Structure 1
Amino acid sequence: MLCGGSLSEELLQEEFVEMVRGVELEKAIAVGATWKEVFEGANLRRTIFCVGVYCLRVASGLWVFIAYGTYFFQQAGVADPFGMSMYTFAAGIIGTVFAIWCSYQYLGRRPMVLFGTVGAIISMFAAALGGTIAPGSPGAAKNFMAWNVIYSVVYGGFAATIAWPITAEIPSSRLRVLTLSIAAGVDYILAWYIAFCSPYFINPKALNWGKYCWLWAGSNVVTLVFFYFLLPEVKGRSLEEIDELFEKKVSVNYFATYECECSKQAHEIVTQKKSETVVTHTEVGNEKDD
Structure 2
Amino acid sequence: MGFKGDWKQATPYLGFCVFTFCWTNVIFGLDTSTFGSLQALPSWLNQFGTNGSLTTLQKALANSIVYVGRLAGTVTFEPIAERYGYKVLLAAIATVQVVSVIIQLASGNFNTFIAGRTISYVAVGWIDGTISSYASEIAPAALRGFFSGLLAPMANLASVWGAGMCQHYATETQKVGWMVPIGIQLIPVVMIAICWPFTVESPRWLLSHDRDDQALAALKKLRRKDDVDAGLCEVELEAIAYAIQYDKTHATARWRDLFTSTAYKQTIYTILFFFFYPSTGNAFYNAYGTTFFKSLGLGNAAFTYAILCQLLGAIGGTTGLLLTDRVGRRPLLIIGSALLVLFDGLAAGLASKSVRTTTDNNVVVACWMLMLWSAKLSWATHAYIVVPEMGGIRMRKKLVMVGTTVDVLGNWLWGFAAPYIQLADATKGPKIGYLFMGFAGMALIFAIFFAPELKGRSLEEVDELFQKFRWGWEYKGYKTTGVGAAVAQAEHGELANTKEVADVAEVDEKNVPGTQVQVNLV
Normalising TM by the smaller chain, what interval?
A: 0.7 to 0.9
1:148 aligned to which of 368, 380, 386: 368
Residue 230 of structure 1: how far off its partner (Å): 1.6
Instruction: Describe the shift of the 1:253–1:194 C-alpha distance in structure 2 as closer, same or farther (beyond 3 A).
Output: same
Aligned to 2:183: none
Tell me if structure 1 keeps the 8 A contact 2:290–2:302. Answer: yes
Alpha-carbon offset, residue 145 of structure 1: 0.7
Tell me the distance in 2 between the aligned counterparts of 1:22 and 1:210: 51
Amino acid at match of 2:270: C
Counterpart of 1:97? 318
Deviations 1:20-61 (A, max 9, x none): 43223123335x532211111111111001011111111111
TM alignment of 1:204-243, pairs within 5 A: 207-243=427-463
- 1:210-289 residue pairs with structure 2 within 5 A? 210-262=430-482, 270=496
**Amino acid of the residue matched to residue 87 of structure 1?**
L
Say if 2:276 and 2:379, in contact at 8 Å, map to a contact too.
no
Indicate the larger mover: 125-134 or 260-269. 260-269
For 1:265 and 1:157, locate their aligned partners in 2 and report how far apart those are by CA, in whole Å.
Answer: 32
Q: 1:204 to 1:37 in 2, by over 3 A?
A: closer
- C-alpha distance after superposition, 1:65-114 (max 9, x if no partner): 1111111111222241122112211121122122211123x220111111
Aligned to 1:127: 347
Does the Cα contact within 8 Å between 1:134 and 1:140 map onto a contact in 2?
Answer: no
Count the aligned residue pairs: 271
Q: Which amino acid aligns with 2:458?
A: S
What residue in structure 2 maps to residue 281 of structure 1? Answer: none
Quick one: distance in 2 between partners of 1:92 and 1:264? 36
Secondary structure at the aligned position of 2:262 is classed as: helix
- Give the Cα separation in 1 of the matches to 2:364 and 2:312: 15
Query: 1:107 — aligned with what?
Result: 327
Q: 1:93 touches 1:157 (CA, 8 Å); kept in 2?
A: no
Percent identity at matched positions? 24
CA distance in 1, matches of 2:335, 2:349: 21
Which of 244, 254, 260 is the aligned partner of 1:40?
A: 260
Query: Given the superposition, is the C-alpha separation of residues 229 and 135 from structure 1 closer, same or farther in structure 2, using an over 3 Å criterion?
Result: farther
Cα offset, 1:15, TM superposition: 5.8
Structure 1 residues 265 and 239: CA distance shift in structure 2, 3 A: closer
Q: Based on CA coordinates, which of the two structures has the bigger radius of gyration?
A: 1
2:270 is the counterpart of 1:50: yes
Cα distance between partner residues in 2 of 1:92 and 1:134:
29
* Cα 1:33–1:4 shift into 2, 3 Å: closer
More moved, 144-153 vs 154-163: 154-163
Verify the 8 A CA contact 2:454 2:476 in the aligned structure 1: yes
> Whole-Å Cα distance in 1 between the matches of residues 322 and 328 of structure 2?
11
2:322 counterpart letter in structure 1: W
Equivalent pair of 2:393/2:460 in contact (CA under 8 Å): no
Q: How many Å separate the matches in 2 of 1:23 and 1:205?
A: 55
Looking at structure 2, the residues matched to 206 and 128 of structure 1 have their Cα atoms a distance apart, in angstroms, of: 11
Q: Structure 1 residues 157 and 272 mapped into 2: Cα distance closer, same or farther (>3 Å)?
A: closer
Assess if the C-alpha contact under 8 Å between 2:320 and 2:377 holds in 1: yes
Residues 206 and 159 (structure 1 numbering): CA distance in 2 closer, same or farther, change over 3 Å?
A: closer
Deviation at 1:233, TM superposition (A): 0.3
Letter in 1 for 2:303: F
Residue 170 of structure 1: how far off its partner (Å) = 0.6
Shift of 1:140: 2.5
Q: Name the aligned partner's letter for residue 259 of structure 1.
A: K
Q: Does 1:158 align with 2:378?
A: yes
TM-score when normalising by structure 2? 0.47
Report the equivalent of 1:280: none
Moved more, 127-136 or 156-165: 127-136
TM-score of the superposed pair, with normalisation by structure 1: 0.81
What's the counterpart of residue 249 of structure 2? 28
> C-alpha distance in 1, partners of 2:403/2:459?
19
Counterpart Cα distance in 1 of 2:409 and 2:495? 48
1:41–1:205 Cα change, 3 Å: closer
Partner of 2:398: 178
* TM-fit CA distance, 1:219: 1.1
Contact 1:128 1:210 in 2 (8 A): yes
Unaligned runs of 5+ residues in structure 1 are 275-290
Aligned to 2:302: 81
Per the alignment, residue 63 of structure 1 pairs with 283
On the 8 A contact 2:344/2:436 being kept in 1, the answer is: yes
Per the TM alignment, residue 236 of structure 1 is displaced from its structure 2 partner at its CA by 0.5
Distance 1:205 1:40, change over 3 A: closer
Q: Distance in 2 between matches of 1:239 and 1:76?
A: 47
What is the CA–CA distance in structure 2 between the aligned matches of 1:233 and 1:205, rounded to whole Å? 41
**Runs (5+) with no aligned partner, structure 2:** 1-6, 12-139, 143-225, 501-522
Distance 2:268 2:474 in 1: 19
Distance 1:21 1:135, change over 3 A: farther
Matching residue's letter, 2:324: S
- CA pair 15-260 structure 1, distance change in 2 beyond 3 A: farther
- State which of 190, 202, 219 in structure 1 corresponds to 2:410: 190
Find the aligned partners of 1:256 and 1:18 in 2 and give their Cα distance: 22
- Find the aligned partners of 1:167 and 1:264 in 2 and give their Cα distance: 20
